[in-house]
Amino acid sequence: MAPSEQEKHAIAAANPHPERVVDSAKVWTSLITNTAYLSGLLTLDFSLKRAGSKYPLVALYTDSFPEEGHKALDSRGIPKKKIPYLLPSTQKDYSNDPRFYDCWSKLTPFSLVEYDRVVQLDSDMLVLKNMDELMDLELDSPETDVKNGEGKRVFAASHACVCNPLKKPHYPKDWIPSNCAFTTQHSTPDQAQREGAPSSAGLAMPNGGLQVVNPSANTYALILSQLQSNSIDSYEFADQSLLGDLFKDRWVGLPYIYNALKTLRWQGVHHQIWRDEEVKNVHYILSPKPWDEKEEERGKGDESHSWWWKMNGERKEEENGKGIDDGF
């Protein structure tokens, strides 16, 4: 169904100035609300360019993003767009995982109708290989397929890993390896490099770190309506819980290589499918982030962190050559 008048106003508030900030109909975006993740975003942007992407990264910032952060983006020529801080009508307690308070705003790309394609990336990611093919992945057309919210390929994402390898006690009891979509691929590792598990596999939850989206007012209206519903209290993982519930069996499962959660590489998690040489985009989930490590700890706790530090070092060297040295 078409958006109601109330939803139209909400959509307009989400994107009051639907003009492109770059000369491209397809963009990467990354949410930034503070400087704690700024080094990650800067290195993500650098890694996209190093991988030869034809498409720009747009930083989506909120009111909380400080002046020194803006200066860092501007000095590096990274385009940016202001977005509202998105929250549901009733606030769920995420005190065990405060990062989830920011995660609702990662739904904003669905509202960026000035673009034909948006691929949302978390700023704790590192691109190792070109993945521009995501810009041409077949999804529902905003003009037809999702007009009534009935599309079958609403967005694309990789699955969340529900193994809970760190045994966090506040995670749901059904977050166990036997319920994980990646576990279903252990016997077909070659296929796992090329095909994602069906969206219905395991607990059928997408990981919100990478989302391939055709922005649509109608789709965003459905999301806004869900944000006002009573379902919010059951969404343990914020945006990705909402998307998995609202669009159950109607999203496209991507291979892990596009959102390679660093924990998948760990022995005993999903090392059966992980191949370093195939990974296109690493996601540094959980803490510490690479940039939070002390110099003597870098890469020792998790080898994949050394990949980030190498790319970050190359970024810093290039920036120093341009006279950019602001500590980020």
Cβ neighbours around 304 below 10 Å, total: 22
Residue 262 maps to a domain? yes
What the block records as the tokens of 222 is 């459905």
Res 116 pLDDT > 70: yes
Question: CA 194 to CA 182: how far, in whole Å?
Answer: 13
Q: Report percent pLDDT > 90 for the chain.
A: 75
How confident is the model at residue 146, as a pLDDT?
Answer: 55
How confident is the model at residue 64, as a pLDDT?
Answer: 93
One-letter amino acid for residue 239 of the chain: D
One-letter amino acid for residue 269 of the chain: V
Residue 293 maps to a domain? no
Residue 133 maps to a domain? yes
Mean pLDDT across 191-201: 98
Contact 269, 165 (CB under 8 A): yes
Phi, psi values for residue 242, rounded to 5°: -60, -50
Domain carrying residue 161: 5-285
The CATH number of residue 256's host domain is 3.90.550.10
How confident is the model at residue 297, as a pLDDT?
Answer: 80
Mean pLDDT across 5-34: 86
Q: Is the dihedral of CA 196, 261, 87, 12 positive or negative?
A: negative
Confidence class for position 2, pLDDT limits 50, 70, 90: low
pLDDT digits (tens, 9 = 90+) for 235-288: 888 899 999 999 999 999 999 999 999 999 999 999 999 999 999 999 999 999
- The number of distinct structural domains making up the chain is 1
Q: At what angle do helices 217-227 and 238-246 cross, to 10 degrees?
A: 110
Residue 39 maps to a domain? yes
Mean pLDDT across 101-123: 92
More confident residue, 321 or 105: 321
Residue 302 maps to a domain? no
Question: CA 62 to CA 60: how far, in whole Å?
Answer: 7
Question: CA 165 to CA 262: how far, in whole Å?
Answer: 11
More confident residue, 94 or 276: 276
How confident is the model at residue 234, as a pLDDT?
Answer: 85
Give the helix, strand, coil percentages of the chain, each rounded to 5. Answer: 40, 10, 50
Pick from 288, 317, 325: nearest CA to 46 = 317
More confident residue, 219 or 270: 270
Mean pLDDT across 169-195: 97
pLDDT digits (tens, 9 = 90+) for 120-155: 999 999 999 999 999 999 999 887 655 555 788 999
How confident is the model at residue 228, as a pLDDT?
Answer: 85
Confidence class for position 92, pLDDT limits 50, 70, 90: low
Mean pLDDT across 289-317: 91
Question: CA 17 to CA 52: how far, in whole Å?
Answer: 30
Range of weakest confidence among 182-196, 223-237, 265-279, 310-324? 223-237
Rg of the chain over all Cα atoms, to the nearest angstrom: 19
Question: CA 88 to CA 260: how far, in whole Å?
Answer: 29
Q: Is the dihedral of CA 160, 293, 32, 193 positive or negative?
A: negative
pLDDT digits (tens, 9 = 90+) for 30-54: 999 999 999 999 999 999 999 999 9
Q: Is the dihedral of CA 260, 41, 306, 162 positive or negative?
A: negative
How confident is the model at residue 218, as a pLDDT?
Answer: 87
One-letter amino acid for residue 8 of the chain: K
Q: What is the mean pLDDT of the chain?
A: 91
Residue 311 maps to a domain? no
How confident is the model at residue 148, as a pLDDT?
Answer: 54
How confident is the model at residue 14, as a pLDDT?
Answer: 76
Question: CA 221 to CA 166: how far, in whole Å?
Answer: 36
Question: CA 179 to CA 240: how far, in whole Å?
Answer: 17
